Structure formats: structure tokens, C-alpha cells
Amino acid sequence: MMNLLWLIPTFPLAGFLILCATEGKLPKVVTACIGAGSVGLSAIAATLVGWEFVTSDSTSYSQVLWTWMVVGDFNVSISLYLDYLALVMVGVITGVGFLIHLYATGYMWDEEGYSRFFAYMNLFVFAMLLLVLGDSLLLLFLGWEGVGLCSYLLIGFFHTDPANGYAARKAFVVTRVGDTALILGLFLLFREVGTLDIQQSLDGARDIWPDGSVMNTAIALLLLGGAIGKSAQVPLQTWLPDAMAGPTPVSALIHAATMVTAGVYLIARMQDLYLLSETATLCVAVVGLVTLFIASFTALVQSDIKRVLAFSTMSQIGYMFFALGVGAWSAAIFHLMTHAFFKALLFLASGSVILALHHEQDMHKMGGLWRKLPIPFWSMLIGSAALAALPFTSGFVSKDAILLTAAHSETLGMTFWSIAVAAAFMTSLYTVRMMYLTFFGETKTEPHDKSKANMWLPLLVLSVLSIGGGWLGFTVLGTLFGDKGVPFELHLKELVAIATMCVPLLGVLVGYLLFATNVFDRRKISDSAPGKAVGRFWFVGWGFDKIYDSLIVNPFRWLARVNKSDAVDYLYRFTTLVARIFHNLLTVSQNGRLRWYALTMFSGLLFVLIVVALI
């Protein structure tokens, strides 16, 4: 049974190939079946394999498919590796992935390039599965780049709009920067440890650097660079908001549930490297913290509903990084899972809303929809609750796990904790704002709900998961990292625990007062000069884009403009010019006058005479 592992990624690949080969000539229904079905099949395969794995007492299973390349002592094979971590990821990818595909069959129905869409989506799932199942870092990198490619393709799916194209390229290039760091990390790792096989290299690292070293830290940091790029963490986060240009299911699958969490997976996967290096872990934590802080503030002032979700995604992933940094490995992965549930839910629900409003994404043009769009409303409500980590939601469980472990971690625990909690407050604040602007207040646009079963079913399932998903945590994830990492019971420091629990509620309350009632007039704050300035600053995502444009993009463009006709070429043009000049000068001497010719001859004779005389 376990040897069916290879089937899991194969199904989506097959789907992709079929859809490509048929060039979209298939009827839409068939396309939908293939597109969603392939993922469904691999989900089934995943469950079978997973069940086998869980029931068996083995902690890991690896399957070698074929030798990729052997050059001297560099030897990589294409092989899959399954352990609990991978299993969770596979579960999320295939499960949530399937639901989103299902949803997309309805969402994309009226769009151009229906089958192209599903081809891309299947390819993405395939690449993502390789990423998490890859036994060697090179195979992981293959998946890593593959998902990047699909993200590029899907962001720019509506390619006739240049803006989308720009967003897509931005996403690809920015992540490419991270990837470069990652690949350099691989080079360094290979040079130091001599292999790119994940398990071997981890063992090797433990043997070579029993108590850490600069090299180890360097590798860890380089890998972190890759993770930052993929997971849209500061300072490489700028691509994610623009990535919302893609169709909403894409945002749900790639930019919320799976791809953006690849960074988290990478770090978790290479855990031992980080355990060996204080600095590296600290960096991870700081990166996460900064991101989640910045993002949550930015989310507060966005007007585009998807951008709000994008920034919230950023901040949630910030939480995960933070968790990894403070050693809450299991919690991080746990939050990854729950976040996949509720964020997918939120995106899909907002997608329904957007669809109902004819692709209107501006929240200020929404409002009062809660009665008109019940299913989206309720599912969105649940999702928001989970996002805001209100009690008894999955989000609550995972986030508390993180915060509490943070509080317990010895190094600067409380500082970290307080910042994180503040961010948690902000989270619930902007969640409330989002909910209010979208569903309450007076109606600004008339919705046309055209959600069919294949669209509300996923919402339903995901809602259930967002609530109940939390309880999965204790069953599965407890054993996730075995002895490593922090064991998973919460011995509460009462005060901390209570604060952690209450802050979100407080946020909700404040949010309610701010947005729903006129207890204090928020206009006054936002219209006041400092308020405006801060608002604008937050709105543009703390001005990272501007900095990058003026520091890198525009200079490069300028250089490209000025040197279109290769400066080096002037070197050669110049030489030819010189030759021409000499040619013209010499030609003057050929004036056809015999006596002048005679003169040159005799002067030539004189010249020879002088030469001979001189020597």
C-alpha cells in the first residue's frame, strides 16, 4: 500500500498532461472532472497511504524512483520521502487542494481558458507535492521552482491585462531572489556536508557541527532567505498583495493554503540545522515577528478585500515563522494546517462575494450582504472567527499554542510574546473591520448569488474544519516531531494564558465599537493629519515597494534604456572608423599626376637613404 506513494503526485501530473495535450478542446464538464478529479484521486491515494503510515509504527518511509544524476561524488536520485511532517503537508495540499479545485470548477465556469486554468492548477499541485515529498533538497528545489512557476502562470492567468502580467512577473522575480539564496545554501551545504539528501545531510550536519558553527549558521540563513521569498516575509513580502490579481481560487490555494507556507515547511524540514544555530533560529523568529506586526497594521487600512486577506496571510505566516523561531515546531505546523483551513475558507467565501458582485473587490462598495448571501456570510464569519483566534476555533488552539510556547521560551520570551499578542489584537481588529464593511451597514451593490453546490460544498467542509480542525492538532501533531521540539502540553502561567485568550476578544470588542457603533468617531482619527499620514503609510505596506522601485527597478530600467545599442560595440566601430580615416588620407596621394608620382618615388629613395644612413 505504501508503495503507492508515487501515485500521489502522478495523478495531478497526468491531469496536467492530458489537459495540455487536448489543448482545451474537451467539453467543460470533462475538463472539470479531469482537473478536480485528478486532485481528488491523489487525495484518496494520500489517505490510503497516510492511514497505512499512521497505523504502521515506522516513522518514515522513502521510495527511490530513479537516479537523477551522478557526477563524480555528486549523486542525486529522484526519490520520495514520507514522514509525519510530509504527511500533514500532503493532507493539506491534496485535501484543501481538492476542495478548492471543486470550488473553482464553479467559480471559473464562465471564464476564458477553462482547461488552461486547471492544467496550471494540476501542475501546481504536482509541484507542491514534489516539494513536500522530495527526499533530496534538489528535488525539493524542483518543486520549489515549480510552484513558483505555477504561481506566476496563475497570477497572470488573465494575461490580456498588463497589470496582471506585471504582478505575475513581480511575484516570480522577487521569489527568484530568495531562491538564489536558497540554491547558494544548497551549494554550501554540498560543499560542507557532501550530499543534498535531506536526511543524510541533517545527520552529517549533526556529526560535523555537534555544537553549531559559522558554516551551519550561514547555510541556515541562506535557506531562510529562500523561505522568506516564498513565504512573503519581510523584506521580500512585496509580491504577495499584488499576487491577488490572480483568480480567487488561486489565491486560496497558492497564496494562502499551500505555496506560501512552503518556507515554513522548508525550515521545519531542516529543523536540525536550525536547532544547531542560535542565531539562525533567532533570525527566523524576528523575521516572523516583524512581518506579522507590519502586515497586521497594513491589513487594517486596506480597502480591497483580497488584499486584506493577503496581508492577514502574511501575518499568519509570520506567526508560523515566529513559532519556528521560538522552537514551537509542532505549533507552527499545526497553525500551518489550521490556517490552511480557515484562510482557504475566507478566500473562497470572499470569492463567492466577489463573484456575486461581478468582480467587485472594494469593501467600501459592499455592505449589508449578510442576508443576501447567507452561505458566504456564515462561512466567512466562521473563518474570521478562526482567523481572529476566538475561542473554540481551530485558529484559537494553534495560535494559543504558539503564543504560550513563545512565552515559555527563555530568550526574550515575554518581549516576543507581548508583540505577538499586540499583533493578535490587531488581527481581530481588522477582521472585524472586514466583516463589518462587507456584510453590514447599508447595501451599496446588489449581489447576484450564483453559487452552485460545487461551490458551497467546499465552503461547508472548510467551515467544519475551521472549527473542528483544532482538535486534530492534539491527536496527530503531538507525535509530529517525536522527541524533538517542545512537547505539546500547555502548562499555563495563568496570567499569560488568560491574557492570550482574552486579547482577541478585546480586539473584537474594540473593533465593534469602532466600526459598528459611533461610540468614538473613527473618522476623526483617520482624517486627522497624523492619522492620514499613518494611514497612507500603512496602506502602501510601509513603503517597501517604493524603496525597491527607486533603489533597484528604476535604475535597472534606466540602464537598460541608455545602453540599448551595446556600448562595447563602439570600440569596434571606432577601429573601423580609424581605418576609414587612414584610407581616405592615403587615397589623396593617388591624384593621378605623374610628376607627383615621380616625386613620391624619389622621396621614397631619399627615405631609404636616410634609413640606411641612420643605421
Partner 1 sequence: MNTQATLMASLPYIVLAGGLLVVMLGICIRRTHFVAWSLTMVTLIATLASHLLGYEALGEGITVTMLIHIDGVSYLFNALFVLAAICTAVIAYQYVDEKLRFREEFYLLLLAATFGSLTLPAATHFVSLLLGLEIVSISLYAMVAYPEKVRGPLEAGLKYMILSVASTSSILFGMALIYAASGSMEFAQLTPVSGSAEGDVFYLLGHVFFWSGIAFKLSLVPFHIWTPDVYQGAPSIVTGFIATVSKGGVFVVVMRYVMESDVFSSEAIAQAIFLIAAISMIVGNLLALQQRNLKRLLAYSSIAHMGYLIIALFLVATQPSIGFETAIVYLAGYFVMTLAAFGVITVISQGSDSELASIDDIQGLLWRRPIPAATLVVSALSLAGIPLTMGFIAKFYLFAAGIEGEMWTLVGLLVLGSAIGIFYYLRIIFAMTAKPEGELDSVERGSWTGISAVAVLGVATLALGIYPTPLVDFVQTLVRVSGF
Partner 2 sequence: MMDATGGIPLEHVIWFAITLFLIGVVGILIRRNVIFILLSLELMMNAAAVVFIAAGAFHDQADGQVMFMFILALAAAEVAVALGLVVQLSRRFKTLDIDAASEMTG
Partner 3 sequence: MNVALLIGLLLTAGLVAWSSERFHKSLPNWVALVSFLIATIWIVFVWLNGPSEGGTYADQSYEWIPRFGISLTLRVDGLSLMLIGLTTLLGAVAVVSSWTETQTRQGFFQFNILWVMAGVVGVFSAFDLFLFFFFWEVMLIPMYFLIAIWGHEDKAYASMKFFLFTQISGLLMLVAIVALVWVHYDIHGIITFDYDTLLETELDSSVARLLMLGFFIAFITKLPSVPVHTWLPDAHTQAPTAGSVILAGILLKTGAYGLIRFVITLFPEASQEFWVYGMGLGVISILYGGYMAYSQSDFKRLVAYSSIAHMGFVLVGVYSFNELGIQGAIVTMIAHGFSTAALFMMAGALQERLHTREMSKMGGLWVRAPRMGAVTMFFVIASVGMPGLGNFIGEFLVLLGAFQKNVLLTVLAALGIVVAAVYGLSLMQRSFQGTPNPDVPEMKDFAFREMSVMVVLMVGLVWVGIYPQHVLGMTDAILPLLGVVP
Q: How far apart are CA 156 and CA 149, in angstroms?
A: 11
Which of 29, 55, 57, 66 forms a contact with partner 3 (CB under 8 A)? 66
Task: Rank residues 498 and 599 by Cβ distance to partner 2 and give the closer one.
Answer: 599
Q: Where in 75-134 is the site for partner 3 (CB under 8 A)?
A: 78
CA distance to 356, 399, 516, per residue, from 327 (Å): 43, 14, 39
Name the segment binding partner 3 (CB under 8 A); options: 87-95, 146-154, 375-383, 409-417.
Answer: 146-154
Kindly report the number of other CB atoms within 10 A of residue 266's CB atom.
Answer: 23
Euclidean distance between CA atoms 257 and 111, whole angstroms: 23
602 binds partner 2 (CB under 8 A): yes
The CB-side HSE value for 412 (13 A sphere, CA atoms) comes to 14
Burial group, residue 33, by CB count within 10 angstroms (0-12, 13-18, 19+): middle
- CA angle 595/598/603 to nearest 5° reads 125
Residue 3 within binding range of partner 1, rule CB under 8 A: no
Residue 612, contacted partner among partner 1, partner 3, partner 2, none, CB below 5-8 A by kind? partner 1
CB 86 to partner 3: min, Å: 19
Q: 51 or 596: whose CB is closer to partner 2?
A: 596
Nearest to 154, CA basis, from 30, 94, 244, 227: 244
User: Near partner 1 by CB under 8 A, which window of 7-15, 217-225, 473-481, 575-583?
Assistant: 575-583
Cell of 57: 509504527
Query: Shortest distance, CB of residue 605 to partner 2, whole angstroms?
Result: 9
**What cell numbers appear for 591 in the block?**
591624384
Could you say whether residue 17 binds partner 3 (CB under 8 A)?
no
Q: How far is the CB of 611 from partner 1 (least distance, A)?
A: 5
What is the closest distance, in whole angstroms, from the C-beta atom of residue 231 to partner 3 in the complex? 18
Please state whether the peptide bond connecting residue 504 to the residue before it is cis, i.e. omega within 30 degrees of 0.
no
SS (H, E, C) 552-615: HHHHHHHHHHHCCCCHHHHHHHHHHHHHHHHHHHHHHCCCCCHHHHHHHHHHHHHHHHHHHHHC
Query: What residue type is 610 in one-letter code?
Result: I
Residues 6+ apart with CB under 8 A from 379: 345, 348, 349, 459, 460, 462, 463
Using CB distances below 5 to 8 A depending on partner kind, what does residue 191 bind out of partner 1, partner 3, partner 2, none? partner 3
Binding pattern for the stretch 147-166 against partner 3, x by CB under 8 A and - elsewhere: --x--xx--x--xxxx--xx
Does residue number 574 form part of the binding site for partner 1 (CB under 8 A)?
A: no
- Asked if residue 97 lies in contact with residue 257, where contact means CB atoms within 8 angstroms, the answer is yes
Quick check: helix, strand or coil at residue 362?
strand
Minimum CB distance to partner 1 smaller for 442 or for 569: 569
Contact 416, 404 (CB under 8 A): no
Candidates 29-37, 60-68, 347-355, 501-509; binding stretch for partner 3 (CB under 8 A): 60-68
x/- map, 557-596, partner 2, by CB under 8 A: ------------------------------x--xxxxxx-
Q: Which stretch binds partner 1 (CB under 8 A): 76-84, 111-119, 465-473, 587-595?
A: 587-595
Instruction: Extract long-range pairs of 157-164: CB within 8 Å, 24+ residues apart.
Output: 157/113, 157/116, 157/117, 157/120, 157/246, 157/247, 157/250, 158/111, 158/112, 158/245, 158/247, 161/245, 163/245, 164/245, 164/246
Figure out which of the listed residues 65, 173, 453, 598 binds partner 2, where binding follows CB under 8 A: 598
Read off the C-alpha cell for 264: 515554513
* 600 lies in the site for partner 1, by CB under 8 A: yes
Tell me the C-alpha distance between 455 and 103, whole Å: 4
Answer with the entry of partner 3, partner 1, partner 2, none that 358 interacts with (C-beta below 5 to 8 A by kind).
none
Nearer to partner 1, 25 or 593 (CB): 593
Binding residues for partner 2 (CB under 8 A)? 587, 590-595, 598-599, 602
Binding residues for partner 3 (CB under 8 A)? 20, 23-24, 66-72, 74, 78, 138, 141-142, 144-146, 149, 152-153, 156, 159-162, 165-166, 168-169, 172-173, 176-177, 179-180, 183-184, 187-188, 190-191, 556, 559-561, 563-564, 566, 568-569, 571-572
Binding residues for partner 1 (CB under 8 A)? 579-580, 582-583, 586-587, 589-590, 592, 594, 597-598, 600-601, 603-605, 607-609, 611-613, 615
